[in-house]
Structure 1
Amino acid sequence: MRAELKSVDSPDVDFATYWPEDENCFSFPITLRIGAEGHDAADLFQMTVCTPGWLSRENAGKAAVLGQNLLIVFHYNWEMIHSYLQNRINRLTAENWSTLAVKLSRFASWEFENYQA
């Protein structure tokens, strides 16, 4: 089974019109719809797109900070960001969806990550 990026959305950004005030210092959240290749179903994965400049500004004065669910880019280029995500996600394979989702959750927060029935 192969992963497939179905869509990318953001509650804060319209990718058709967005351009950051400072293309070297910004962040925004994204939600990725990812499912098995060739199937309509998808789960949600969330992460933040940001630059090293934004991380530095937001964490000024701290000795260290843990990064989780971050896609760190060096400047703003939505086509490049989308292409990177698509290539990274679409090459992942596993025997089943559960195993594939765990692989994806290593870099993006999975909606069912801590789910218990």
Structure 2
Amino acid sequence: MKPKVRYFDAVDADLDDFSPEDPEDFWVPIQVIVGPADDAKAEELIQFTVCTPKALQAAVAREGFLMGRSLVIVDSADMVRIKEFITTEIEKIEAPTYAGVGVQLAWLGNFEFEDNAIS
């Protein structure tokens, strides 16, 4: 089975017109809605945080450390390229079952059903 990206969403940003105040220093949480490629009705949520190296550096300087799971580290605020990259990474996953796909999705980002997929 393979996952298919349905669409992208964000609570704090308009992804279609994304232009942070400083394109070299930003964080933006995004949500990706995915489902099985062969079932257009099923959908799950994966969350990522897109950020720049400068934003990471500032966070580490402030806190002294930073956990890195579900981060997508970018060199620009080009949301078209960011979406293309995330879509490619998600859609190259393949497993015998959708539960297996879920395990792999949970490695990329915060997967809505990761506790179910891992157990």
Could you state the TM-score of these two structures normalised by the residue count of structure 1?
0.91
CA RMSD of aligned residues (A): 1.6
Give distance in 2, aligned partners of 1:114 and 1:80. Answer: 30
Structure 2 counterpart of 1:48: 49
- The letter for the 2-side match of 1:51 is T
- The letter for the 1-side match of 2:56 is L
1:1-117 paired onto structure 2 within 5 Å: 1-40=1-40, 41-115=42-116
Following TM superposition, by how much is the alpha carbon of 1:66 offset from its aligned partner in structure 2, in angstroms? 2.1
Greater helix content: 2
SS at match of 1:47: strand
Give distance in 1, aligned partners of 2:62 and 2:21. Answer: 24
Following TM superposition, by how much is the alpha carbon of 1:61 offset from its aligned partner in structure 2, in angstroms? 4.8
Following TM superposition, by how much is the alpha carbon of 1:63 offset from its aligned partner in structure 2, in angstroms? 4.3
Report sequence identity in percent: 29
Following TM superposition, by how much is the alpha carbon of 1:106 offset from its aligned partner in structure 2, in angstroms? 0.2
Following TM superposition, by how much is the alpha carbon of 1:24 offset from its aligned partner in structure 2, in angstroms? 0.8
SS at match of 1:114: helix
SS at match of 2:57: helix
Structure 2: segments with no counterpart, 5+ residues? none
Conserved 8 A contact 2:2-2:36? yes
Give distance in 1, aligned partners of 2:78 and 2:10. Answer: 15
Structure 1: segments with no counterpart, 5+ residues? none
Could you state the TM-score of these two structures normalised by the residue count of structure 2?
0.89
